[in-house]
Chain A
């Protein structure tokens, strides 16, 4: 004489609020994992970036167009900066997305803020990538020896 007891509240939830098997769940889980994996890699990339640009040689006083041209002459630093750009922007944008979800309570506000965030993020990633890929040591104003 077993009685089957329905799960608590199972009759009271409108089906449209139920989490289906393909809800946002897997995206949020991947985003959570990405924050941690990118964080570990970013430590190496950012510490290396700050060390080469601020700690060795003349540090901040040594930075100029010539300094950047010197660094980007080596493929390693172009790849370094490209990966840094993508990981830091995606990690930061995903973090800010979480914060918008937490504090913007009106649906319309949330949608607007996230729209601005995504447009700005894509713009910066595309711009930064183009700058690395199309870098020209002999742009206007360059006084490097090989350009004169």
Chain B
């Protein structure tokens, strides 16, 4: 494919941006998972070492990182359902744009609920 093509209905429109978003979130979650399994493996070495690592996730600053991670997962998951519907549901391609709006609306609502609960635990007086 030409790297300099322009003037299509795809390039720069929401179809492309949702694809970029799906890619970026997929890679980010994968990298997180590599580190996450290494962290969790400390459970097999020393209980205190595990607690020390986990406590670095329990800081107010990291709470925002966790919201970012969950934001990425929720987008990838909901948009993933949309991609699956585009492929397997007869009307899928016809409604793919409306479904993208659905994805964004559900994403904002679920992420807001998560953020309120998570930040009140992580930043609340403990």
Seen from chain A, the residues whose Cβ lies within 8 Å of a Cβ on chain B are 36, 39-40, 42-43, 46-47, 50, 54-55, 58-61, 63-65, 68, 85, 88-89, 92-93, 95-96, 99, 120, 124, 127-128, 130-131, 134-136, 139-143
Q: Using A92-B30, A141-B49 as known contacts, say yes or no to A65 and B63 having CB atoms under 8 A apart.
A: no
**CB closest chain-A residue, reference B37:** A128
A61–B30 alpha-carbon span in the complex (Å): 24
> Which one of B58, B66, B84, B117 contacts A40 once the chains associate, using CB atoms below 8 Å?
B84
Across-interface contacts of A143 in B (CB, < 8 A) = 47
A39–B87 alpha-carbon span in the complex (Å): 13
> Which one of A63, A128, A134 contacts B54 once the chains associate, using CB atoms below 8 Å?
A63
A64 to B54, Cβ gap below 8 A?
Answer: yes
The interface residues of chain B, by DSSP majority, are classed as helix
> What are 12 A-B pairs at a CB distance below 8 A?
A46-B77, A54-B66, A54-B118, A60-B118, A60-B121, A61-B126, A89-B33, A93-B30, A95-B26, A131-B40, A135-B44, A140-B46
Interface flags, B1-43, vs A, CB<8A=1, else 0: 0000000000000000000000100110110011001101101
A131 to B44, Cβ gap below 8 A?
Answer: yes
Give the A-B contact count at a CB cut-off of 8 A.
110
A143–B29 alpha-carbon span in the complex (Å): 33
B80 at the interface (CB under 8 A from A): yes
B77 to A60, Cβ gap below 8 A?
Answer: no
Q: Using A36-B84, A46-B73, A64-B54 as known contacts, say yes or no to A59 and B118 having CB atoms under 8 A apart.
A: yes
B122 to A61, Cβ gap below 8 A?
Answer: yes
**CB closest chain-B residue, reference A84:** B33
Across-interface contacts of A59 in B (CB, < 8 A) = 117-118, 121-122
B70 at the interface (CB under 8 A from A): yes
B114 at the interface (CB under 8 A from A): yes
A134–B109 alpha-carbon span in the complex (Å): 40
B45, B49, B80: which has the most chain A beta carbons within 10 Å? B80
B41 to A134, Cβ gap below 8 A?
Answer: no
